[in-house]
Amino acid sequence: MTDNINETGEVLSRDIEDLSEAVACTAKTLEKQLGEKYYIPLAENAENKRPDGDCIAGADQEIETLRRTAHSLFLSAQAVSAMEDELKSRTRDTKRSVKRGKLSAFNPPPNGAIDLEEERKDHFARGMNIYKLLLLLIVGSFAGVIIEMIWCYLTRGYLESRRGLIYGPLNLLYGAGAVLLTLTLYKFRNRGYIWSFVGGFVVGSALEYLCSFGQELLLGSRSWDYSDMPLNINGRICFAYSVFWGVLGVLWIKDLYPRAAKLILKIPNRAGKIITCALAAFIAVDAVITGIALARWSQRIGGDPPQNAFWSVIDDVYPDSRMERVFANMEFGNKKPADAEENQPGYIS
């Protein structure tokens, strides 16, 4: 069976190759014919300053025909290049997946295998439906916090909160990044690395800039500032982190996404829908509470007293000490909360 498949694929490739060689030979022949029929007569017309209407009309027709032909050949070349790139990528992913060795158990499954299993199982979170995206939002929000905390420990020698929500080790920036990267790169999941890198570079940079801008616009605070980094834009993004997003795009769609999708496939359909909706509702409520607490924290930093009983409760449940533990890198304007507190009247160090 394998021999038949390989033989059929080889014959198809040879057919395309033969056609392309025939087109190249035809193009060379046509170039000579055009020279005899048009190039020389047109040059003679210019030299004698006697335009030949039939010659020019025929040349115009040839130009239009060649334009259409060039467009068709360009599309054909794109299609063949895409097929070559996808087949190479699928083959490489399969070889990596089935490669034997001490760490073979940790090899990610190929995206092609994930697609096939989702289709055969008729899974509730197949493709890019809402359940899959919600689960990826949850997984990305959690994994991003854990990875950044580990990175902080390895580079700085201590653990520090990287949460973006008050309840649970979750950061919606990473979750939104996972969703956007997946939506952008999903159609390139079985293609070469360059597509994933470019997509991650652009999407990650845009997401980071918009999140920084939105946070400062709505809350008057910033969670990161790249002003000291080279090639930065308003301190919101910089080239180094954009490259990081590009690398992350490759790592995500080629390694982390298929692993996550493989785990999601283990969730039963009925229970999976209920669990996904419950977790999504929890994160939505958590996000609303976090937004309210951050808004009130910003007011307290500015010295504004609570306006009613509701805001007094917020002050009691989410005091500055708790907010500073959760949002260790939060800045309001150009100051961190502790700095702003020192400048308030009555502060005692």
In angstroms, the CA 90 to CA 17 distance is: 21
Torsion of CA 331, 333, 337, 341, to 10 degrees: 170
CA gap 287, 292 in Å, rounded: 9
What is the pLDDT at residue 339?
52
The burial of 1, by beta-carbon neighbours within 10 Å (0-12 exposed, 13-18 middle, 19 or more buried), is given as: exposed
The backbone region for 298, taken as left when phi is positive above 0, alpha when psi lies in -120 to 50, beta otherwise, is alpha
**What pLDDT sits at residue 4?**
46
The residue behind tokens 């295998």 is 113
On the 0-12 / 13-18 / 19+ scale of CB atoms within 10 A, 152 is middle
pLDDT band at 289 (very low <50, low <70, confident <90, very high): very high
**pLDDT at residue 337, as a whole number:** 60
Does 1 have pLDDT greater than 70? no
| Contact yes or no for 232/226 (Cβ under 8 A) | yes
Reduced 3-state DSSP string for 173-212: HHHHHHHHHHHHHHHHCCCCHHHHHHHHHHHHHHHHHHHH
Beta strands in 197-293 (DSSP E): 221-222, 232-233, 237-238
The tens digit of pLDDT for each residue in 303-340 reads 899 999 999 999 999 999 999 888 877 776 555 565 54
Confidence at residue 2, expressed as pLDDT on a 0 to 100 scale:
45
**Of 209, 266, 256, 259, whose CA–CA distance to 234 is shortest?**
209
Q: If you average pLDDT over residues 110-124, what whole number do you get?
A: 92
Name the percent of the chain lying above pLDDT 90: 46
Confidence of residue 3 (pLDDT cuts 50, 70, 90): very low
Which token pair is 219? 């809350």
Question: pLDDT by residue (tens digit) across 45-100?
Answer: 887 777 778 888 899 999 999 999 999 999 999 999 999 999 999 998 888 887 76
Q: Which residue has the higher pLDDT, 153 or 345?
A: 153
- DSSP assignments along 30-92, one per residue: HHHHHIIIIIHHHHHHHHHT---HHHHHHHHHHHHHHHHHHHHHHHHHHHHHHHHHHHHHHHH
Q: Which of residues 270 and 6 earns the better pLDDT score?
A: 270
Q: pLDDT tens across 144-186, in order? A: 889 888 888 888 888 877 888 999 999 998 898 889 889 989 9
| pLDDT at res. 95 | 86
What is the per-residue pLDDT for 333? 58
CB atoms within 10 A of CB 199: 24
Cβ atoms of 122 and 264 within 8 Å: the answer is no
Contact residues for 188 (Cβ-Cβ < 8 A; gap 6+):
195, 196, 199, 253
Q: Which sequence spans correspond to the domains of the chain?
A: 2-107, 113-342
Phi, psi (degrees; rounded to nearest 5) at 237: -140, 160
pLDDT tens figures, 190-237: 998 998 999 889 988 988 898 888 888 877 777 778 888 888 898 889
Q: Is the pLDDT assigned to residue 41 strictly greater than 80?
A: yes
pLDDT at 159: 81
